[in-house]
């Protein structure tokens, strides 16, 4: 089996400069799976930055992926602004109740103080420890739930959806206060030596229209990204579900890399926006990574690489979204090993040769069977 | 206004997200002693189906669909008391809910809205529902279908658990089980032995109709 010849930091730096690398960067987006790596319960992460850091550092050391992303759930900022989050014993936390039950209480919502409110200080501590421990060899990022999605946790997703049509000013007000929290948190993350990593689930075209995205989400993403850029950091923006009609706007908002999930098409993304933005994605987190076999993973990685390896602004092999907590380690290893096996540099001939030699399968197995 | 004209206007009011207009028109149905069942079917439900179609065509998104459903339900409130008793009880029943551990319910609510607009009677257990509660409720109301939703991978196993309970009680044949939600796929549905998988609310309606033996 091919071994890594470079650290993630060396690899990503060289890749961005167009220099030689040993393999494509690869990021199985690990969140609470890290609890399994060190054998603790997911709820042990609550209020324990040291433990979150330990889990992510050990997880990185085990799999050797290219970016560490400190992430437990989407609600950390909303909780710090008054939303109620439920922490099951050993599963990912979820939103129990939004910060306000009626829009008339909107003025009671204040931006969070990242050094004081909710679990934000613990997440910052985790980021700081991770950067101090392994930050020289691997980029450490901290997840930020962007303004529009965070706003949906403040009032509730359905209420926010209705308000978009009945009282858009209130939606902007909720986004504005969320953005203020985003900006303060981003500042704290960068001050901790870490890079913000943006996620905005509700901005998906599976939920709101591209027009609504432009009105209610885009302006806040743009302002957040402008700030992060002003601090000299590049930005990865993840939006789940359907996104093809908002890729252009994600790029215009300033994203340097867009992370897309399996409701979007890597090949299409490459052709539409690949000359402007790096791509990341989109192995199915649940169907392939959680439920699939090693063979399924290998096949999926090869297909993704085939679709996007020649993306003009670069490509990072990644899962389409955060991996489910119980994703088998062997599938994560298989994802990394497949990228190592494929190697670099790549072109159509080398990829076809891999299929011909039987190392990989083409889109369907019958095609491959013709060769043996 | 003739009966048909009024039903058409009701349908338009729903698809145009006009809740107040829908209520006014529904009251007009009542005042004119027009058939409430037909007004629901050819007016409100028809408008909701048109909204569902616009959703599939990506003209409408979740906010619009929710506003249409608000109009539909407001009209239903007016018309329901005027249904004749033989109109009630001839619908197939579906028990629906989001599996325990998950509190995302927009997807489930959309499926419920579209099923109701398509003539099913839907018993909504809400979110964070224990597998055994689905089974107990389905037995109690003599449902034809149990519809399970989840958005989180952590709760997918609960879907298989519902089917296990049905098997243990030897009543698996009494109910059709349909599943859906972000992380769910056809292969997952097959693996747990569900009767069907739907990727979105419109597909869920077609699936439910197929499962109870009716065409689309």
Domains and their CATH numbers in chain B: 3-87 (1.10.1240.10), 93-211 (3.40.50.280)
The token duo for A218 is 């885009």
Any idea where the domains of chain A sit in the sequence? 8-369
Taking the mean position of all CA atoms in its chain, how far away is CA B136? 19
Residue ranges in chain B modelled with pLDDT below 50? 215-216
Mean of the pLDDT values across residues A299-322? 96
Judged by CB atoms closer than 8 Å, whether chains meet at B154 and A325 is answered as yes
Q: Please indicate if any CB of chain B lies within 8 Å of the CB of A94.
A: yes
Please answer whether residues B193 and B181 qualify as being in contact, where contact means their C-beta atoms are separated by less than 8 angstroms. no
Q: Please indicate if any CB of chain B lies within 8 Å of the CB of A263.
A: no
- Runs of H (alpha helix) within A192-273: 210-212, 218-230, 247-252, 266-273
Is residue A372 over pLDDT 60? Answer: no
The set of residues, in sequence order, having a beta carbon less than 8 Å from that of A184 and lying 6+ positions away, is A111, A112, A113, A114
| pLDDT at residue A237 in the model | 98
Radius of gyration of chain A (CA): 20
| pLDDT at residue B102 in the model | 58
Please answer whether residues A95 and A78 qualify as being in contact, where contact means their C-beta atoms are separated by less than 8 angstroms. yes
Helices B62-79, B45-56: inter-axial angle, 10-degree rounding: 170
| pLDDT at residue B184 in the model | 85
Tell me which of A92, A159, A215 to substitute to probe the interface with B (most B C-beta atoms closer than 10 Å): A92
Task: Please tell me the distance from the alpha carbon of residue A258 to that of residue A167, in angstroms, as a whole number.
Answer: 31
What one-character DSSP code corresponds to residue A104?
G
| pLDDT at residue A367 in the model | 42
Is residue A160 over pLDDT 90? Answer: yes
- Torsion region of A6: left, alpha or beta (phi above 0 gives left; psi -120 to 50 gives alpha): beta
- Pick from B58, B63, B156: which is nearest to A165 by CB? B63
Judged by CB atoms closer than 8 Å, whether chains meet at B188 and A287 is answered as yes
Please tell me which residue of chain A has the smallest CA distance to B127: A96
Q: Give, in degrees to the nearest 5, the angle at Cα A283 between A279 and A284.
A: 130
Is residue A364 over pLDDT 60? Answer: no
Predicted confidence (pLDDT) per residue in A177-223, tens digit? 999 999 999 999 999 999 999 999 999 998 999 999 999 999 999 99
CATH no. for A8-369? 3.20.20.210
Per-chain mean pLDDT for chain A: 94
Mean of the pLDDT values across residues A278-291? 93
Query: In degrees rounded to 5, what are phi and psi of residue B159?
Result: -65, -45
Residues of A in contact with B104 (CB under 8 A): 94, 157
Mean of the pLDDT values across residues A323-337? 96
Residues of A in contact with B64 (CB under 8 A): 165, 209
| pLDDT at residue A366 in the model | 41
Q: Which of helix, strand or coil describes residue A281? A: strand
Cα dihedral B5→B11→B13→B15 (10° resolution): -150
| pLDDT at residue A365 in the model | 47
* pTM for the full predicted model: 0.90
| pLDDT at residue B216 in the model | 46
Predicted confidence (pLDDT) per residue in A234-274, tens digit? 999 999 889 999 999 999 999 999 999 988 999 999 999 99
């Amino acid at each position: 089996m091919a071994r890594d010849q470079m650290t993630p930091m060396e690899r990503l730096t060289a890749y961005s400069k167009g220099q030689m690398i040993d393999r494509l960067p690869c990021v199985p987006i690990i969140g609470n799976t890290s609890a399994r790596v060190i054998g603790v319960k997911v709820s042990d992460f609550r209020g324990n930055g040291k433990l979150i850091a330990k889990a992510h550092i050990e997880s990185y050391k085990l799999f050797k992926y290219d970016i560490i992303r400190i992430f437990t759930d989407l609600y950390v900022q909303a909780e710090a602004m008054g939303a109620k989050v439920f922490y099951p014993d050993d599963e990912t936390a979820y939103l129990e109740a939004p910060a306000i039950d009626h829009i008339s209480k909107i003025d009671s919502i204040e931006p969070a103080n990242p050094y004081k409110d909710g679990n934000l200080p613990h997440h910052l501590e985790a980021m700081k420890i991770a950067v101090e421990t392994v930050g020289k060899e691997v980029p450490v990022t901290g997840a930020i739930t962007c303004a529009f999605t965070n706003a949906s946790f403040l009032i509730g997703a359905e209420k926010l959806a209705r308000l978009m049509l009945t009282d858009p000013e209130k939606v902007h007000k909720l986004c504005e206060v969320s953005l203020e929290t985003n900006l303060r948190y981003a500042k704290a993350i960068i001050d901790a030596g870490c890079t913000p990593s943006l996620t905005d689930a509700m901005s998906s075209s599976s939920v709101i229209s591209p027009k609504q995205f432009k009105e209610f989400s885009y302006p806040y993403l743009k302002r957040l990204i402008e700030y992060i850029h002003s601090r000299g950091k590049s930005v990865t923006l993840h939006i789940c579900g359907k996104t093809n009609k908002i890729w252009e706007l994600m790029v215009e908002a300033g994203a340097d890399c867009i992370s897309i999930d399996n409701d979007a098409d890597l090949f299409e993304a490459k052709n539409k926006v690949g000359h402007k933005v790096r791509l990341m994605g989109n192995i199915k987190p649940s169907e392939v990574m959680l439920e699939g076999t090693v063979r399924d993973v290998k096949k999926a990685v090869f297909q993704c690489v085939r679709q996007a390896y020649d993306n003009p602004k670069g490509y990072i092999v990644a899962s389409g979204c955060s991996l489910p907590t119980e994703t088998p380690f062997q599938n994560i290893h298989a994802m990394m090993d497949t990228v190592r096996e494929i190697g670099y540099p790549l072109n159509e001939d080398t990829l076809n040769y891999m299929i011909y030699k039987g190392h990989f399968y083409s889109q369907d197995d019958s095609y491959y069977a013709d060769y043996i | 206004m003739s009966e048909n004209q009024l039903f058409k206007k009701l349908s338009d009011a729903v698809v145009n997200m006009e809740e107040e207009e829908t209520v006014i028109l529904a009251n007009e149905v009542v005042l004119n002693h027009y058939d409430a069942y037909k007004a629901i079917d050819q007016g409100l439900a028809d408008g909701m189906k048109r909204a569902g179609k616009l959703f599939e065509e990506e003209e409408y998104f979740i906010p619009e669909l929710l506003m249409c459903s608000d109009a539909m339900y407001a009209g239903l409130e007016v018309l329901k008391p005027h249904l004749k008793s033989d109109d009630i009880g001839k619908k197939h029943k579906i028990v629906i809910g989001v599996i325990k551990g998950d509190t995302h319910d927009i997807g489930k609510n959309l499926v419920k809205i579209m099923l109701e607009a398509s003539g099913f009677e839907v018993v909504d257990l809400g979110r964070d529902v224990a597998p055994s509660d689905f089974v107990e409720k389905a037995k109690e109301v003599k449902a034809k279908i149990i519809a399970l939703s989840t958005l989180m991978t952590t709760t997918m196993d609960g879907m298989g658990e519902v089917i296990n309970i049905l098997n243990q009680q030897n009543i698996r044949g009494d109910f059709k089980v349909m599943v859906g939600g972000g992380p769910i796929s056809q292969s997952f549905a097959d693996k747990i032995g569900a009767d069907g998988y739907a990727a979105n609310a419109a597909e869920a309606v077609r699936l439910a109709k197929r499962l109870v033996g009716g065409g689309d």
